[in-house]
Structure 1
Amino acid sequence: MRITWWGHSTTTIESNGTRLLTDPVLTSRIAHVRRRRGPTPTAEAGHCDAVLVSHMHADHLHLTSLPLISPDAALVVPRGAAKLIHADSGASYSERCIEVAPGNQLRIGGLDITVVTAHHDGRRLPWSAHSGPALGFRVEGTPSVWFAGDTDLYDDLAAEAGPVDLALVPVGGWGPSLGPGHLDPERAAEAVRRVGARIAVPVHFGTFWPIGCDWMKPELFLPPGEQFKKAMAEVDPAVRVDLLAPGESTEVGAR
């Protein structure tokens, strides 16, 4: 299996001849938030068999990035998201949507996928009519992967998402505060312990930041990656942490 991190929560999972693209943000900017570290993903990033969208927030369901994705790729989205996609992008995109909720299972190419819970606000915006469940995804196989989306710790995390070989786990955010429904580096390490992963790749940090705010809380931009690696060593030193830069890849073999 090959994992490529394109920045923020955007990763490519390549296994069994299938490419999955998670929460694609393939541009240099999301509204008032700009890509501050790493290059804008190349056209290769958009090549996939399916997209896995964890929730409707604009930094995860990024409508502007949809035209940069393979035109025949399935869009696996939270229940209710197809209506939003149809209103913004039209039927050529909404007809490719597969709406899912926690507990659903599907097969994409050579991979089986189980949809799991994420404890996070699933609304597009606080005042938006578009809402649905926030999701994580467990990609079955050898090795297996938990893509957490955005989530906080919750009681059934181990039972729903674990055990897995690899965790793609959020450890930070995109601004000078980290609101509810997110993991900081220490809580991310605990999440990895709960799902029993032997390898962890930290994501959702060190990529985007509000324009003009580079000076604000710099300790919340890049440091969460190293902080997670340190916290993981304290929680479970047997876990291998692959700390990638945007655009880098790692190879994961069978146990």
Structure 2
Amino acid sequence: MSTPLAVTRIGHACQLIEVAGLRVLTDPWFTQKATYYQGERVASTVADLGHLDAIVVTHEHYDHCDLDGLIAGGIDLGTPLIGPGTVATIARAKGFTDVRVVEAWEAVSVGELTVTAAPAKHGVHEVTFVLQAGGRTVFFGGDSLRVPELDTIPERFGHVDLAILPTNGLCIRPMNLEQVVMDAEEAAALTAVLKPALAIPHHYAFHSGRLGDQMITKADQDPRHYADAVARLAPEVAVRLALPGTLVTVP
């Protein structure tokens, strides 16, 4: 029997991954401010999450690194927090006491969990993550663009059970619509390479408010575009569009 693996989408890129009895929170975002709107309900408070074995943070953007929200919600500051050096500097300054730095292809362990950073590309320094425990493997894509190094994940880590990928193709209007996040087609093409048992899109409901959407960001908010693209490019891969708060069990 396979080691149990499940994921609950809290909102945006914040996921609660449960594998081999370990509970890992990704890219926390629990609060809201001008030009940063989840666009969907946040499925849990920090307090209601319960015990966490680790927190993994891909980069320092507010919608992925809401450490103030964690602290205000009563997070245990001794919880292992894993991320690149840019995130580690912020986390230590805010009082987190077990901060572990990983850059691309470096790994750390928390009990039976191994967290390996993989390459990424975004508007700031970012890593993505491969999480492994009990013979299960999860790829967490943060909000990276698709970079060629990610195609090597299956040969480096073997079978991928779950892939969680951004899909909104976020573009920055003041930067001549420079794209900073992979879009649905790019995410589907990466899915075809990763060949996970299950793929879940995220990072699509976010918006910048009525004025911000007109002046700051442009993005695809429909995850069905990703599901349709995977159906064309990797029809053997199951896709689940998970609402916040829904527990998804990975076969």
CA–CA distance in 2 between the matches of 1:6 and 1:173?
21
Residue in 2 that maps onto 1:240: 238
- State the secondary structure of the residue aligned to 1:145: strand
Asked if the contact 1:174/1:209 (under 8 Å) is kept, the reply is no
Residue in 1 that maps onto 2:128: 136
Q: Please point out which of 55, 70, 73 is paired with 2:76.
A: 70
| Cα pair distance change 1:64/1:40, threshold 3 Å | farther
Structure 2: runs of 5 or more not aligned: none
| Cα pair distance change 1:211/1:45, threshold 3 Å | farther
Q: Please point out which of 248, 251, 255 is paired with 2:249.
A: 251
Name whichever of 176-185 and 13-22 sits farther off.
176-185
Residue in 2 that maps onto 1:111: 113
Q: Please point out which of 165, 178, 181 is paired with 1:169.
A: 165
**What displacement does 1:38 show?**
1.7
Report percent identity of matched pairs: 29
| Cα pair distance change 1:174/1:25, threshold 3 Å | farther
| Cα pair distance change 1:211/1:46, threshold 3 Å | farther
**What displacement does 1:176 show?**
8.1
CA–CA distance in 1 between the matches of 2:219 and 2:89?
34
Matched, 1:120 2:122: yes
**Cα deviations by residue, 1:136-194 (Å, 9 ceiling, x for unpaired):** 11112433100011222222212136641210000116788674331111111011112
Residue in 1 that maps onto 2:20: 16
CA–CA distance in 1 between the matches of 2:43 and 2:220?
18
Residue in 2 that maps onto 1:98: 100
Per the normalisation by structure 2, the TM-score is 0.83
Amino acid at match of 1:8: H
Structure 1: runs of 5 or more not aligned: 123-132
**What displacement does 1:196 show?**
2.1
CA–CA distance in 1 between the matches of 2:170 and 2:211?
11
Per the normalisation by structure 1, the TM-score is 0.82
Q: Please point out which of 21, 29, 37 is paired with 1:25.
A: 29
CA–CA distance in 2 between the matches of 1:176 and 1:233?
29
| Cα pair distance change 1:46/1:150, threshold 3 Å | farther
| Cα pair distance change 1:181/1:215, threshold 3 Å | closer
Name whichever of 39-48 and 152-161 sits farther off.
39-48
CA–CA distance in 1 between the matches of 2:123 and 2:214?
25
CA–CA distance in 1 between the matches of 2:232 and 2:41?
29
Amino acid at match of 1:166: L
| Cα pair distance change 1:200/1:53, threshold 3 Å | same
| Cα pair distance change 1:84/1:31, threshold 3 Å | farther
Matched, 1:59 2:87: no
